[in-house]
A = this chain, B = another copy of it.
Amino acid sequence: MNQHLSPTIAASSMELSAEMAAENVVEFTDLPVKRQREDEENGVSKTVSTLPNETQPLGISAVIPGWFSEISPMWPGEAHSLKVEKILFQGKSDYQNVMVFQSSTYGKVLVLDGVIQLTERDECAYQEMITHLPLCSIPNPKKVLVIGGGDGGVLREVSRHSSVEKIDICEIDKMVVDVSKEFFPDIAVGFEDPRVTLHVGDGVAFLKAAPEGTYDAIIVDSSDPIGPAQELFEKPFFESVAKALRPGGVVCTQAESIWLHMHIIEDIVANCRQIFKGSVNYAWTTVPTYPSGMIGFMLCSTEGPHVDFKHPVNPIDEDDSQQSARPLKFYNSEIHTAAFCLPSFAKRAIGSKAN
């Protein structure tokens, strides 16, 4: 792996002196330079850029001494912080900064470019919902593609579906896969399924090259639309997705928070309405360690057999799941249906864009 490890540091606010603490104060703004410049021109980002240097732990945003703080122009004026017990890994891949730390109350935490991707304590909500919302909405899914999702959590969930015969995953950043296998065995376990084929590369290119009508379901487990995942929120990408799906096939993409990014969501919905001639729905779930404490999903189907996302036709039997080695922690058929019920402010905004 192309990485450089820092010495493990025991980071506790009680142990650090005030001087050390002051040195530790970095606002995490090392976004890709081009994007940052755009933001500044648009007046989006007004934070002072303090890029990490060699003595500064790479990729950590320790604004509170001994804590990790998630500060980003994507959610200005607020930050969620987790207390750090120990930094387990830091590296810089060709695409992003990668960090793993042991938190004091959320288990191990995976951070990409300063943004929390998952914690052991609440990853179940995201992984189970982004996977089973689409897969439980169609009968007998057989071929599934995962774009992103290099931690393996979505694969782990896809594996629960016995009808599935082939699972392709295209992750751009090999370091994410390697780090997950080393530090998150209960998540990377998804890679052990013999139905899985890992393709390391660009998801956009992979989809363009995919034969038309190949997949029953595509799951886009991306990071936010700043950085390497930017293209995954744009129209040409959705067009490739639609092409690679069979008629009546389904896609589920990470689609931000209705509290924070309604304008991004409205754009995604408008794009999807144009491209997907079947169903187009928005759903959401609670994830405490994501900004605003929730995350949304865009669920669409191509022209063909009708897909009613709100009423799962392919339920995972909860009793079966309970008896398995890894019972479902979060997903069930009731919360599947509930996930599509939106607060009035979101319903109005998404509804109006959809027409």
Contacts and interface: CB of A to CB of B under 8 A. Distances in A.
A342 B335 contact: yes
Interface string A61-81: 001110101000000111111
A111 interface: no
Contact of A292 (B18, B288, B338): B288
Interface stretch (A98-106, A138-146, A235-243, A265-273): A98-106
Given A122-B259, A259-B286, A342-B335, A80 B77 contact: no
A44 interface: no
Contacts of A343: 125, 286, 329-332, 335
Nearest to A348: B322
A281 to B, nearest CB: 13
How many copies of this chain? Answer: 2
Interface in A79-121: 79-83, 103-106
Nearest first, the 3 closest Cβ-Cβ pairs linking A and B are A293-B293, A77-B105, A338-B338
26 contacts: A21-B25, A63-B64, A64-B64, A69-B81, A76-B104, A77-B103, A77-B104, A77-B106, A78-B80, A78-B81, A78-B105, A80-B80, A124-B345, A257-B288, A260-B288, A286-B294, A287-B293, A290-B293, A318-B344, A328-B344, A331-B343, A332-B343, A332-B347, A335-B342, A337-B341, A338-B341
A22 B14 contact: no
A211 B313 CA distance: 52
Contact of A83 (B21, B25, B78): B78
A182 interface: no
Contacts of A331: 343-344
A41 interface: no
A1 interface: no
A325 interface: no
Interface string A11-34: 001100010011001010000000
Interface in A267-323: 284, 286-288, 290, 292-294, 318
A54 interface: no
A48 interface: yes
A255 to B, nearest CB: 15
A73 B81 CA distance: 15
A201 B52 CA distance: 54
B78 A79 contact: no
A22 B77 CA distance: 20
Nearest to A333: B341
Contacts of A64: 63-64, 69, 79, 81
Most buried by B among A81, A103, A345, A347: A81
B81 A79 contact: yes
Contacts of A83: 76-78
Given A13-B27, A125-B343, A338-B338, 13 more contacts: A18-B22, A18-B25, A21-B22, A22-B22, A64-B64, A78-B105, A78-B106, A259-B286, A259-B288, A288-B292, A292-B293, A329-B344, A330-B344
Contacts of A14: 48
Nearest to A64: B63
